[in-house]
Amino acid sequence: MNTTLQNTPHGWMGLGTWKSSPGVTKDIVFEALASGLCRHIDSAPVYQNQREVGEAIELYVKDINGGKREDVHVTSKLMTYSLPPEKFEEETKRQLKELRIEKLDLMLLQWPVTTSGSIEAQWKALERLVRKGLVERIGVSNFSRKKLEQLLRCCEIKPSVNQIECHPNWRQDDLVEFCKENDIVVQCYGPLGSGDQFSSDGLNRKRSGAPPLSNHIVVELAEKYGATPAQICLNWAVFHRGTVPLPKTVNKERLRENKEALDIVISSEDLAKIDSIEEQYRLQHGSFHTGPTKEFKTLEELWDED
């Protein structure tokens, strides 16, 4: 696999804010920015904490000596199941106001849902956001290889990012390689396996082994290198896979631990051992987009899987 680093403008790792509760999001985002531990913030309106993300960014820019907006990389998303393309500009302006910034660094289509407009129409609306100066770059989230191939055939501005679930128990090797071949950065949500989602089944797969942080290969590497299992997974995601992990935390010590994962020197041979973890298992099912009355009747249709 090609291991060329697909670096973002502000580092190889971002801070995820999904499930960061109101009341704590502002503090952890501000800590990430002010301490310099992370300047890449991933957000979305559906996370219901975007106002706090904006307050933290504003506080960093206004109250920190040397704090600059250009030092912060802000990602947001459009949940398109109820938002038609003609409303993208209005919604983007609303988000910019909530985030207290004048331009978004990256806007993603959060799911490949077309109930309110085709992917082609949605993408053209995103391209207009770029041309109007509201958004710097555009991309997608939760797109399969098949859906990306369809998008690449009709776009004028190529997607710069595909944000997908990706961790040692769901490597998505083919999709990651396809993205690299097409100069699409892979951002990984749930890079540590999202322990609170490690459920019993999904896409008819039954659990048979340990989740990433307790997998014996990851644990053995952590012991060998004096690291935590989480640090091993993040180091693997960045230096072996060339992807951009987006670990979520509201703990300041964990934030520092995540950053220090990139300082650990691990042999390529040892990191490659993680690629041998046989059990592959999706945690973010996306089942809320499937059903008799939905666009996708089954999870297999949503993810284009057997």
Q: Outline where the chain has alpha helix (H).
A: 25-35, 50-63, 88-99, 119-131, 145-152, 173-181, 216-225, 229-235, 252-260, 268-272, 299-303
CB atoms within 10 A of CB 294: 16
Phi, psi for residue 4 in degrees, rounded to 5: -60, 130
Per the annotation, the verdict on 47 as an active-site residue is yes
Q: For residue 94, count other CB atoms closer than 10 A to its CB.
A: 13
Q: For 277, what's the count of Cα atoms within 13 Å in the CB-facing half-sphere?
A: 29
Residue of 165, 151, 193, 187 whose CA lies nearest to 299? 165
Candidates 47, 60, 189, 281; catalytic one: 47
Q: List the beta bridge partners of residue 205.
A: 202
Encoded amino acid at 18, one letter: W
Is residue 234 within 8 A of residue 262, CB to CB? The reply is yes
What are residue 141's DSSP bridge partners? 163
CA torsion, points 110, 115, 116, 121, in degrees to nearest 10?
70
Catalytic residues: 47
